Amino acid sequence: MTDVSASAHASFRPSMLIYDRRYRSLTFQVIVFILVMAALWWLIGNTISNLNAMGKSFDFGFLFQRAGYDISGTPIPYTGNDSHLRATVVGLLNTLIVSILGCIAATILGVAVGVARLSKNWLFARLMTVYVEIFRNIPLLLWILVIYAVFTEILPAPNAYRGDDPAWSMILFDHVALTNRYTAIPTLGMDNDPGSLDLGARVTVNWATIAFVVALVGGWFVRRAINAHAQKVQDRTGVRPATLWKNLAVMILPSLFLIWYFGLHLLPPALKGFNFTGGLNITNSLVVLWLALTLYTAAFIAEIVRAGILAVSRGQSEAAFALGLRPKRTMNLVILPQALRVIIPPLISQYLNLTKNSSLAIAVGYMDLRGTLGGTTLNQTGRELEAIVLMMLIYLTLSLIISAGMNVFNSRVKLKER
Partner 1 sequence: MKKSVFLGTVAAATMIAGMGMAQEGSTLSQVKERGELNCGVNTGLVGFAAPDANGNWAGFDVALCRAVAAAVLGDASKVKFVPTTGQTRFTAVSSGEVDVLARNSTWTYSRDTDLKLDFVGVNYYDGQGFMVNKELGVTSAKELDGATICIQTGTTTELNLADYFRANQMDYTPVNIDSNAEGEQQYMAGACDAYTTDASGLAATRAAFANPENHIILPEIISKEPLGPAVRHGDNNWGDIVRWTLNALIAAEEYGVTSRNIEELVRSSENPEVQRLLGTTDDLGAMMGLDAEWAKRAILANGNYGEIFAANIGEQTPIGLARGLNAQWTQGGLLYASPFR
C-alpha 331/C-alpha 18 separation (Å) is: 57
Selected binder of partner 1 within 157, 230, 259, 394 (CB under 8 A): 157
Q: Which is nearer to partner 1, 271 or 348 (CB)?
A: 271
User: Applying CB under 8 A, what is the total number of residues that bind partner 1?
Assistant: 51
* Identity of the residue, 50 or 192, whose beta carbon is nearer to partner 1 in the bound complex: 50
Residues sharing a CB contact under 8 Å with residue 373, sequence separation 6 or more, in sequence order: 84, 87, 88, 91, 92, 387, 390, 391, 394
Cβ of residue 383: shortest distance to partner 1, in angstroms?
Answer: 9
Cβ proximity to partner 1, 63 vs 105, nearer residue? 63
Please report whether residue 70 would count as binding partner 1 according to CB under 8 A.
yes
Rounded Cα distance between 163 and 180, Å, is: 18
Pairing relation of β-strands 280-283 and 182-185? antiparallel
**Sign of the CA dihedral with 159 first, then 164, 169, and 175 last:** positive
Cα 242 to Cα 222: distance, rounded to the nearest angstrom:
15
- Tell me which residues in 308-337 interact with partner 1 (CB under 8 A): none
H or E segment and range at residue 196: strand 196-198
Q: Is 272 in the site for partner 1 (CB under 8 A)?
A: yes
All residues at 6 or more sequence positions from 10 whose CB lies less than 8 Å from its CB, including other chains: none
The pattern of x and - marking residues 122 through 151 that bind partner 1 according to CB under 8 A reads ---------------------------x--
By CB under 8 A, which span of 126-134, 252-260, 321-329, 376-384 interacts with partner 1? 376-384
Is residue 80 a contact point for partner 1 (CB under 8 A)?
A: yes
Stretch that binds partner 1, among 53-61, 197-205, 287-295, 347-355 (CB under 8 A): 53-61
Q: Report d(CA 243, CA 232) in Å as an integer.
A: 13
Pairing mode, strands 187-190 and 264-267: antiparallel
Q: Does 69 bind partner 1 (CB under 8 A)?
A: yes
Question: Applying CB under 8 A, which of residues 56, 175, 246, 356 lies at the interface with partner 1?
Answer: 56
| Number of continuous H segments (helices) and E segments (strands) in the chain | 15, 9
- Contact with partner 1 (CB under 8 A): which of 30, 40, 142, 225? 40
Strand partners, 275: 272
376 scored as a contact of partner 1 (CB under 8 A): yes
Least distance from partner 1 to the Cβ atom of residue 161, Å: 12
In angstroms, what is the minimal distance from the CB of 385 to partner 1? 10
Task: Find the shortest distance in angstroms from Cβ 86 to partner 1.
Answer: 14
Closest CA to 293 of 347, 349, 374, 355: 355
Compute the distance between CA of residue 271 and CA of residue 180 in angstroms, rounded to an integer: 14
**Which one, 117 or 181, has the nearer CB to partner 1?**
181
The kind and range of the H/E element at 318 are helix 314-322
Binding region for partner 1 (CB under 8 A) out of 91-99, 346-354, 378-386, 407-415: 378-386
Can you tell me which of 18, 26, 34, 43 binds partner 1, judged by CB under 8 A? 43
Single out the residue of 377, 281, 293 nearest to residue 95, CA to CA.
293
Interface with partner 1 in residues 222-251 (CB under 8 A): none
Least Å distance, CB 361 to partner 1, is: 10
Binding status of residue 380 toward partner 1 by CB under 8 A: yes
Question: Can you point out the beta strands (E) in 79-145?
Answer: none
Helix (H, G, I), strand (E, B) or coil at 180: coil
* Residue selected from 153, 164, 165, 417 as contacting partner 1 according to rule CB under 8 A: 153
